[in-house]
Amino acid sequence: MGKGIQKWSEAVIERRQREGYGSGDGAAYKPWVGVHDIASAGRMHRAFSQAFGRTIHMLSDVESNTFLLLEYSRKFTQVYEGFPLERKCTLQIAEALGIQHPYYQGTHVPAVMTVDFLAVRESNDDMLIVAFDCKRSEDAEDEHTIEKLQITRAYFAGRGVAHHLVFHSELPMSKVKNIEWIRAAALKKGETERYEGYFREKANQMAYELSTSKHTTPLNEYCASFESRYQMGPGDGLRVARMLMWERTLECDLNNPNLQSAPLNSFICTFDAGVPRAAAL
């Protein structure tokens, strides 16, 4: 972890604005503050998102868990983390509410406030924007945190944007853990396969099997059998199943705390065996 920004100033804020922090569309977006900008030993996360085309910066476990749910939902075309609010507006709101605007620690510089996630949902010609702040439950007892959230909520209310508060204690953690497990099966950038298209080929073979016959064995037992029949490496069969879950070809109950041992008849295979698929070349 880097030392981060040692001292904020108006000059630092202006420089970051010029450099494009807190702006950019889609994959070109740069969060206002990333993991390397924070001088903290806290738990921070970075994860490349194929869905959004860039690395997402998350400054806490609550943010990371919330991101997993947002990404997996497939409802949102983009998620912008650490999205900055217009400082002129937040200062005006704080004054109107009669509360103190946040300042950077050890300075007299009003902070550029951010929202943890700004999510964009597009449908036909409509675009819906939703804001999320992610907190631990004990933050609800902190007066300073409450005041900041009041400013944020008023800011988005004035723009017709729904603002949701996510507490760690309310997150469906079995679902989060399953999504994290499923997501980790995706091919990594630069990862070498046995041959090009190897995992895609095996995923099609498994999907065909699951769509054309009924299985009642546990998932992990079926995957071990699949590995043996197709001469795959240990764990590769289960990885293929997770790939199918990630792409929604194999649907499951994500709230099941022991998904690996779930019987196959509790899954739904959406693969259409009658539709020809291109062979991996």
Q: Are 254 and 176 in contact (CB under 8 A)?
A: no
Mean of the per-residue pLDDT values of the chain: 92
Average pLDDT value for residue range 6-17: 93
Q: What is the pLDDT of residues 170-184, one digit of tens each?
A: 999 999 999 999 999
Q: What is the pLDDT of residues 36-76, one digit of tens each?
A: 887 655 688 999 999 999 999 999 999 999 999 999 998 99
Q: What is the pLDDT of residues 202-255, one digit of tens each?
A: 999 999 999 988 888 999 999 999 999 999 999 999 999 999 999 999 999 999
* Beta-carbon contacts of residue 56 (< 8 Å; ≥ 6 apart): 46, 47, 48, 49, 67, 79, 81
Structural domains of the chain, ranges and CATH numbers in brackets:
10-171 (3.40.1350.10), 190-269 (1.10.10)
The three-class DSSP label of residue 46 is strand
65 vs 135: CA distance, rounded Å: 11
**Burial (CB count <10 Å: 0-12, 13-18, 19+), residue 266:** middle
Nearest to residue 48, comparing CAs of 241, 190, 251, 202? 190
Nearest to residue 122, comparing CAs of 175, 74, 161? 74
